[in-house]
Amino acid sequence: MGKIKENIDLDQIGEFGLIRLLTENIKLKNKSSLLGVGDDAAILDMKGKKTVVTTDLLTEGIHFNLVYTPLRHLGYKAVIVNLSDIYAMNAVPTQILISLALSSKFSTEMVQELYEGIQLACSMYHVDLVGGDTSSSMTGLNISITAIGAASDDKLVYRSGAGSNEFICVTGDLGAAYMGLQILEREKHIYDKNSTSQPDLSGYEYVLERQLKPEVRASIITALDKNDIKPTSMIDISDGLTSDLLHLCDASETGCKIFADKIPIAAETRKAAEEMNLEPVTISINGGEDYELLFTSTVNNFDKLTSIPGISIIGHMTNKEEGKHLVMPDGNYLEIQSMGWNSLRGKR
């Protein structure tokens, strides 16, 4: 990406000047990317594979707060949000398109910072940026990213394939992103009351990174394939474990039973939750923005699943008539309800 020597207003450089500045050094990496930025449309060639397409919109004030979100991190996260959906289909992401709506408070330097994060994510996950659009905005920053991926027909996994008695599995650990957000909001609240105070973020590095710069579990998709495991259903955990598990159950017409003491929670997440008088299990199942994978698998894969680092078996699917339950350590059953993130309810 080209660098500018001074901070220039967007109205000085213009839309096409900005596009040229942000994309002039982009080099395509995937053979399926025949033509990228520079024409009326990108040209892709998937050579017989199924094409998977997803899009996400991130809106300032709803999905992110620039008071505590560095633009490089935001650009990186915006890409990850979309790639996670592609991996959740058991596909490989190959290209993205980006549309930005920018208010007058943004300069070329600020947009470059955003794109540095975007291009870092593309580099890390071997994805090509092949197009997009820019526009002005009256309400801050809006980022819309469309991600494209590919998979052979026999590899694709849907939400609707789970069956009764199959294992429910998650990758990584849950709740850290939510606690990172709580820490950031707490420090912002303190700053709003006293602008001379400095945020104390020491000891919270893990949860902050999970909120500001999440990663996707591409390595788990590779490991499952190497072990000849094709999940029967899968979704990424973006809205919270409870919400996304209910999506699997509804699509597959099953019930479920998960165990509170089997849910993976990092020590840093527990510590932060307890400091803020929050129940770790509650935030881990309802928090959202983990971008871990939630999937089901047949019981004959038990040995293979337990041999792959980063996978936890947290329960099993049941018949639809048995309902959807969280089993507490004392044996009590709690009905699972959707308590995760809903963008139409308001701010995070």
> What sign results for the dihedral spanned by CA atoms 135, 140, 144, 145?
positive
Q: Is 79 exposed, middle or buried (0-12, 13-18, 19+ CB in 10 A)?
A: buried
Residue 251 has pLDDT above 50, yes or no: yes
d(CA 145, CA 57): 7
Average pLDDT of the residues of the chain: 89
Beta bridge partners of 52: 149
237 CB-near residues (< 8 Å, 6+ apart): 170, 174, 244, 288, 290, 291, 292, 293, 294
pLDDT digits (tens, 9 = 90+) for 65-97: 999 999 999 999 999 999 999 999 999 999 999
CATH number listed for the domain at residues 167-345? 3.90.650.10
d(CA 178, CA 264): 14
Question: Would you say 307 and 316 are in contact if contact means Cβ atoms under 8 Å apart?
Answer: no
Residue 262 has pLDDT above 70, yes or no: yes
84 CB-near residues (< 8 Å, 6+ apart): 216, 236, 238, 291
Q: Does residue 45 sit in helix, strand or coil?
A: coil
102 CB-near residues (< 8 Å, 6+ apart): 10, 111, 134, 135, 136, 137, 141
Q: Is 174 exposed, middle or buried (0-12, 13-18, 19+ CB in 10 A)?
A: buried
State pTM to two decimals: 0.87
Question: Would you say 153 and 106 are in contact if contact means Cβ atoms under 8 Å apart?
Answer: no
Kindly report the three-state secondary structure assignment for every residue of 306-344.
HHCCCEEEEEEEECHHHCEEEECCCCCEEECCCCCCCHH
Token pair of 214, please?
């999440």
Task: Name the band, by pLDDT with cuts 50, 70 and 90, for residue 337.
Answer: confident
CB atoms within 10 A of CB 146: 17
Q: Where are the domains of the chain?
A: 10-151, 167-345
In the chain, % of residues over pLDDT 90: 73
Determine the average pLDDT of the residues in 119-133.
95
Determine the average pLDDT of the residues in 319-323.
97
Q: Does residue 93 sit in helix, strand or coil?
A: strand
Task: Name the band, by pLDDT with cuts 50, 70 and 90, for residue 346.
Answer: very low
Residue 219 has pLDDT above 90, yes or no: yes
Tell me how far apart the terminal alpha carbons of the chain are, to the nearest angstrom: 32
Residue 339 has pLDDT above 80, yes or no: no
pLDDT digits (tens, 9 = 90+) for 101-124: 999 899 989 999 999 999 999 999
Higher-confidence position of 213 and 28:
213
CATH number listed for the domain at residues 10-151? 3.30.1330.10
d(CA 197, CA 177): 24
